[in-house]
Amino acid sequence: MIEGILVDHAAAENMLKCTQQHRPLEAGGLVLGLRKGLYLHVTEITRPLPWDRQSSTRFQRSPKGHRIAALRRWRKSGGKMDWIGEWHSHPGFSLSPSSIDIRNWHDIVRQRKAEMIFPICDGRETAFYLQCWGDRGKFLLRQFEKDAVGTFYLTPAAIKRRLRETGNEAYGPTVELP
């Protein structure tokens, strides 16, 4: 079970810029990074390619170019860099996933047999969803810490545990999505 993710600032910036550049069309791509035990480390994303289908309500990634980009990075990293998720934009609208998004995420995780993250970016901020493998649902991750390298997000369960450990309950309840 993944407890949290670290998102490099460069990758987060790239998603924001890409969303703004493609507005009003949706954009998206792969999320690449490292699996480190209980944590995922997001180091890179891919941007839309000519084979992808983009509209104002839909982004459909073609397998073609993104797979080549992912393979190239995987080789360069000595086999460490992994495909850890998929992102897409909702330019100027809700950060919540649509029913189509939710279905896609389930399919991807079932095929991949591993936990994956699915960021949605509206051009101003990004919501990071963790989709579990099996029937354990999905979680909106909460920002926990920020430093020079990146931002650290945790699952609601991990935050609850940390607050319990430090005896600090002042943050209020955490939200679990259906």
> What binding mask, one character per residue, do residues 100-129 give for Zn ion by CB under 5 A, x or -?
-x----------------------------
Number of residues that bind Zn ion (CB under 5 A): 2
**3 binds Zn ion per the rule CB under 5 A:** no
Identity of the residue, 1 or 100, whose beta carbon is nearer to Zn ion in the bound complex? 100
Distance CA 152, CA 99 (A): 27
* Sign of the alpha-carbon torsion through 69, 91, 86, 163: positive
- Omega of the bond leading into 24 within 30 degrees of 0 (cis): yes
> What binding mask, one character per residue, do residues 64-103 give for Zn ion by CB under 5 A, x or -?
----------------------------------x--x--
**Residue 133 burial (CB count, 10 A):** 15
Catalytic residue among 3, 13, 26, 125: 26
Identity of the residue, 55 or 145, whose beta carbon is nearer to Zn ion in the bound complex? 55
Distance CA 177, CA 128 (A): 12
Identity of the residue, 8 or 122, whose beta carbon is nearer to Zn ion in the bound complex? 122
Identity of the residue, 3 or 86, whose beta carbon is nearer to Zn ion in the bound complex? 86
Known catalytic residue at 13:
no
Which residue's CB comes closest to Zn ion?
101
**How far is residue 50 CA from its own chain's centroid?**
22
The 3-state DSSP class for residue 55 equals coil
Name the residue among 176, 155, 174 with its Cα closest to residue 3: 155
| Catalytic residue numbers, as ranges | 26
Can you give the binding site for Zn ion, defined by CB under 5 A? Answer: 98, 101
